[in-house]
Amino acid sequence: MVDLSVEVGGLRLKNPVIAAAGTFGFGTEYARLYDVGLLGGICTKGLTLKPRPGNPPPRLWETPCGLLNSIGLENPGVEAFLQEELPRMRGLGTAVIANIWGETPEEYRELAERLSRSDVDAIELNLSCPNVPGGKIRGGVPEEVARIVGLCRRVCEKPLWVKLPPEGDVLEAAQAAERAGADAVTASNTFRALAIDIEKGRPAFAGRIGGLSGPAIKPIALRVVYELVQKLKLPVIGCGGITSWQDALEFIMAGAHAVQVGTGNFIDPLCIPKIVRGLADWLAGRGMEDLEGVRGCAH
Ligand SMILES: Cc1cc2nc3c(=O)[nH]c(=O)nc-3n(C[C@H](O)[C@H](O)[C@H](O)COP(=O)(O)O)c2cc1C
């Protein structure tokens, strides 16, 4: 019998494979396709204090092996989430991680405080969003990371995860999050990137810069995780370009306690249950009972 359950950043998950924020909505659409109770957890779409309409179209732009997005954090706002989405999500049978975005450090604190009193299992601070103004720098500036995490920590009794951008001084930012009381670090969000619409002769997105995700970023995201694990005491949740159980295993061998899958869900909506199954089969094939003997073995 294989036991895939993991303890990550103050939260026990039935397995280490989590749907990444913004790529799985609030889980209910996917629940029509399969039992999303098979997932380790779901990170919600990034929640803000007020509802946001998001950016004008186009919002997605395919690239070879990758995807550029400029969604602009469209979401119904934290109140509608708490009233309408969260009760539905609680019925899905998996952990709920609320991903949040504040315009200011104080907004992060307010969101963390409200969600800490709710039924979510953990809170993930999104500290970079390449497609909203100001979003690019936050997670790359250790002082700003420390301030936001510190403010949230004081009001949040739930596990607090900090999601960083892959750019800037990621190690210093992660260490600042650790000192300020984070329970885990998610590495990473999308890369700042650009596409030009050659018919129009201008950037494809109205906001110009978008976020690159998908298989194109996997080796870089993997390197970020590998380096962070060597220096941090906190557990690291790997994210970036994972589309198969082999990818997930690479991140776990690099030392990740859990992984998040984003763009992979757009390529194959059944991607996550296939990854969970693939990990279990791989362990069983080697007569191993859990991931303990594998995690970090590549160091
Ligand atoms: C369409 C789209 C929307 C996203 N929205 C969010 C979001 O609201 N909050 C967040 O922290 N990350 C968001 N992300 C980033 C993903 O959660 C993930 O970190 C990133 O895409 C890298 O993983 P992947 O290559 O598996 O997609 C979004 C990504 C995509 C493609």
Q: For residues 296 and 123, give the distance between their C-alpha atoms in angstroms, rounded to a whole number.
A: 25
Q: pTM of the full predicted structure?
A: 0.98
Q: Tens-digit pLDDT profile for the chain (299 aa)? A: 899 999 999 999 999 999 999 999 999 999 999 999 999 999 999 999 999 999 999 999 999 999 999 999 999 999 999 999 999 999 999 999 999 999 999 999 999 999 999 999 999 999 987 777 655 557 778 999 999 999 999 999 999 999 999 988 899 999 999 999 999 999 999 999 999 999 999 999 999 999 999 999 999 999 999 999 999 999 999 999 999 999 999 999 999 999 999 999 999 999 999 999 999 999 999 999 999 999 999 99
Please tell me the number of Cα atoms within 13 Å of 22 on its side-chain side.
Answer: 25
Question: At which residue do the structure tokens 């294989």 appear?
Answer: 2
Domains of the chain: 6-54+73-194+215-285 (3.20.20.70)
Spatial separation of the C-alpha atoms in residues 210 and 75, rounded to whole Å: 18
How far is Cα 76 from Cα 48, in angstroms, rounded to an integer? 8
Check residue 52 and report its DSSP letter: B
| Catalytic hit among 43, 129, 152, 239 | 129
Ligand 1 center to residue 189 CA distance, Å?
Answer: 6
- Block residue for tokens 């650009």: 194
107: CB partners within 8 A, 6+ apart: 48, 49
Sign of CA dihedral 108, 152, 256, 134: positive
Residue 146 main-chain phi, psi, to 5 deg: -60, -40
Closest CA relative to residue 222, chosen from 198, 256, 262: 256
Q: With contact defined as beta carbons under 8 Å apart, do 33 and 11 qualify? A: no
Q: Which atom of ligand 1 is nearest to the CA of 75?
A: 8
129 counts as catalytic: yes
Q: What DSSP state is assigned to residue 82?
A: I
- Ligand 1 centroid to residue 285 C-alpha, Å: 32
Residue 81 backbone phi and psi in degrees, to 5: -60, -50
Query: How far is Cα 22 from Cα 260, in angstroms, rounded to an integer?
Result: 11
Which residues line the pocket of ligand 1, CB cutoff 6 A?
20-23, 45-46, 67, 69, 71, 73, 99, 126, 163, 189-190, 213-214, 217, 239-242, 261-264
What's the gap in Å between 23 CA and the centre of ligand 1? 6
Give the residue, by CA position, lying nearest to ligand 1 atom 28.
22
Ligand 1 atom with the shortest distance to the CA of 261 = 26
